[in-house]
Amino acid sequence: MANRNLEKLASIDAQLRLLVPGKVSEDDKLIEYDALLLDKFLDILQDLHGEGLKETVQECYELSAEYEGKHDPKKLEELGNVLTSLDPGDSIVIAKAFSHMLNLANLAEEVQIAYRRRIKLKKGDFGDEANATTESDIEETLKKLVHKLKKSPEEVFDALKNQTVDLVFTAHPTQSVRRSLLQKHGRIRDCLAQLYAKDITPDDKQELDEALHREIQAAFRTDEIRRTPPTPQDEMRAGMSYFHETIWKGVPKFLRRVDTALKNIGINERVPYNAPLIQFSSWMGGDRDGNPRVTPEVTRDVCLLARMMAANMYFSQIEDLMFEMSMWRCSDELRVRAEELYRSSSRRDVKHYIEFWKQVPPTEPYRVILGDVRDKLYNTRERARHLLAHDVSDIPEELVYTNVEQFLEPLELCYRSLCACGDRVIADGSLLDFLRQVSTFGLSLVRLDIRQESDRHTDVLDAITQHLELGSYREWSEEKRQEWLLSELSGKRPLFGPDLPKTEEIADVLDTFHVLAELPADCFGAYIISMATSPSDVLAVELLQRECHVKQPLRVVPLFEKLADLDAAPAAVARLFSIEWYRNRIDGKQEVMIGYSDSGKDAGRLSAAWQLYKAQEELINVAKKFGVKLTMFHGRGGTVGRGGGPTHLAILSQPPETIHGSLRVTVQGEVIEQSFGEEHLCFRTLQRFCAATLEHGMNPPISPRPEWRALMDEMAVHATEQYREIVFKEPRFVEYFRLATPELEYGRMNIGSRPSKRKPSGGIESLRAIPWIFAWTQTRFHLPVWLGFGAAFKYAIEKDIKNLHMLQEMYKTWPFFRVTIDLVEMVFAKGDPGIAALNDKLLVSEDLWSFGESLRANYEETKHLLLKIAGHKDLLEGDPYLRQRLRLRDSYITTLNVCQAYTLKRIRDPNYHVTLRPHISKEYTEPSSKQAYEYVLLNPKSEYAPGLEDTLILTMKGIAAGMQNTG
CA distances from 60 to 57, 677, 781, 788 (A): 5, 32, 22, 36
> What are the E-state strand segments in 385-523?
447-453
Helix, strand or coil, per DSSP, at residue 96? helix
CB 287 within 8 Å of CB 170 = yes
Distance CA 251, CA 276 (A): 12
Spatial separation of the C-alpha atoms in residues 146 and 449, rounded to whole Å: 37
Q: Pick from 962, 894, 762: which is nearest to 66 by CA? A: 894
Nearest alpha-carbon partner for 776 in 958, 573, 956, 519: 956
CA 362 from centre of chain: 49
Distance in angstroms (rounded) separating the CA atoms of residues 459 and 472: 10
Q: Angle at the Cα of 904 (from 937 to 946), degrees rounded to 5?
A: 20
Active-site residue identified among 337, 642, 718, 818: 642
∠ at Cα 654 (650, 657), nearest 5°?
Answer: 140
Nearest to 770 by CA among 168, 167, 172: 172
Greatest CA separation found in the chain?
A: 91
Stretch (H or E) spanning 595: strand 589-595
The yes-or-no answer on residue 386 being catalytic is no
Catalytic residue among 40, 75, 120, 172: 172
The answer to whether the CB of 671 falls within 8 A of the CB of 634 is no
For 85-216, strand residue ranges (E) read 164-170
CB of 932 closer than 8 Å to CB of 45 = no
Catalytic residue, candidates 40, 189, 601, 768: 601
b/e burial code for range 836-866 (CB count within 10 A of at least 16 → b): bbbbbbbbbeeebeebbeebeebbeebbebb
Look up 551 and say whether it is catalytic.
no
DSSP 287: B
CA distance 330 to 333: 8
Render the burial of 10-35: b for 16+ CB within 10 Å, e for the rest.
Answer: eebbebbeebbeeebeeebbbbebbb
244 is catalytic: no
Alpha-carbon gap, residue 893 to 884, rounded angstroms? 15
**DSSP three-state, residue 761:** coil
Whole-angstrom Cα distance, residue 810 to residue 804? 10
Residues with catalytic function: 172, 601, 642
